[in-house]
């Protein structure tokens, strides 16, 4: 069995975002954080104290947030627009579509407290639509880092690229995930965390860690699993997806998002349209308003957990036999 991990010894990806932004801003005066009454929840209080001239507070006004960010980006600033993912990608969707993507303003749209991170606050505060909504908009990259390493590299790379990007972060402290060969991160290229030949578990964001635990436990049952951190939802790493479809007997996708329009449907669509026929299952939140509970309780209820993923793996492999 995989050893239980005390996550209290690790940092949340959102904290790494803040730490990295502070480090970059020390030598780059063009970095600007724009927040919508979210400097506290976005872990940007230390940033604001260090760089008071490089932060803009617009209040609870997400549409204005994106408009201001787009304007600053059009003037050459490296802008990080920070707000809860549920409101940012719903309330300000038109501004993301028109002011950022259509106008090609290289805003770094930062969705915080994503997925079901808000727990008992319920469906009004869950962002289970953001992948789906933004996948339908041209000219915006979608990235959900799995651990602190991916987060740091994503923020570093985002500051270097001149195109719109959406970065999604939750609240949970995340253990490090060591890639098979070496730690390499680039947008649009999935990270192979573990290699196997029976089943491929393709996960994103905070669901990658439980997927890895499943793979470790499956070894005791002589089942070999590949685990991929598919941190970039768009553009999807279709070369890796094709390799998995050829080398593995079944594919499972895992995400903290609706099963409609997210990572799973992106993978399924590409595989089917490119004539790959393998047992396939999407694990995520079904098309319903979620039960009330903590993030982990919601995960457990919908099978976004070690037990739930394991059951699906067994089901797919048994049906194939």
Q: Which residues fall within 8 angstroms of residue 49, CB to CB, at 6 or more apart?
A: none
pLDDT at position 184, please? 83
Residue 295, SS3 per DSSP: helix
pLDDT at position 129, please? 97
All structural domains of the chain: 7-168 (3.40.50.970), 191-320 (3.40.50.920)
pLDDT at position 321, please? 38
pLDDT at position 87, please? 96
pLDDT at position 5, please? 53
Q: Is there a contact between 131 and 94 (Cβ–Cβ < 8 Å)?
A: no
Q: Which residues pair with 253 in a beta bridge?
A: 202, 282
The span from the first CA to the last CA of the chain, in angstroms, equals 25
pLDDT at position 9, please? 78
Among candidate residues 191, 189, 190, 195, the one with its CA nearest the CA of residue 179 = 191
Nearest-Å Rg of the Cα atoms of the chain is 19
Q: What angle do CA 237, 129, 116 make, to 5 degrees?
A: 100
pLDDT at position 180, please? 63
pLDDT at position 71, please? 98
Residues in the chain with pLDDT < 70? 1-8, 179-182, 320-321
């Amino acid at each position: 069995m995989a050893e239980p991990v005390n996550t209290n010894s690790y940092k949340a990806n959102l904290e790494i975002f803040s730490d990295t932004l502070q480090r970059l801003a020390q030598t780059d005066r063009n970095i600007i954080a724009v927040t919508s009454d979210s400097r506290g929840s976005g872990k940007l209080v230390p940033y604001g104290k260090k760089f008071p001239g490089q932060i803009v507070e617009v209040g609870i006004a997400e549409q204005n947030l994106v408009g201001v960010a787009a304007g600053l980006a059009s003037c050459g600033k490296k802008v990080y627009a920070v707000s809860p993912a549920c409101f940012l990608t719903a309330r300000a969707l038109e501004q993301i579509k028109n002011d950022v993507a259509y106008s090609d303003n290289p805003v770094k749209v930062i969705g915080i407290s994503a997925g079901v991170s808000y727990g008992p606050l319920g469906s009004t505060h869950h962002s289970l639509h953001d992948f789906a909504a933004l996948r339908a908009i041209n000219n915006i990259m979608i990235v959900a880092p799995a651990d602190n390493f991916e987060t740091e590299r994503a923020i570093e790379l985002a500051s270097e690229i001149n195109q719109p990007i959406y970065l999604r972060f939750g609240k949970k402290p995340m253990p490090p995930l060591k890639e098979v060969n070496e730690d390499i991160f680039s947008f649009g290229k999935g990270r192979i965390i573990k290699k196997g030949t029976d089943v491929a578990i393709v996960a994103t964001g905070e669901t990658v860690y439980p997927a890895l635990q499943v793979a470790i436990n499956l070894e005791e049952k002589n089942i070999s699993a590949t685990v991929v951190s598919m941190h970039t939802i768009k553009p999807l790493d279709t070369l890796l997806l094709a390799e998995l479809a050829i080398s593995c007997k079944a594919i499972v996708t895992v995400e903290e998002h609706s099963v409609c329009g997210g990572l799973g449907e992106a993978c399924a669509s590409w595989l089917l349209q490119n004539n790959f026929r393998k047992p396939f299952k999407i694990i995520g939140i079904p098309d319903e308003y979620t039960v009330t509970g903590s993030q982990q309780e919601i995960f457990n209820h919908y099978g976004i957990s070690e037990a739930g993923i394991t059951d699906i793996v067994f089901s797919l492999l048994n049906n194939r036999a």
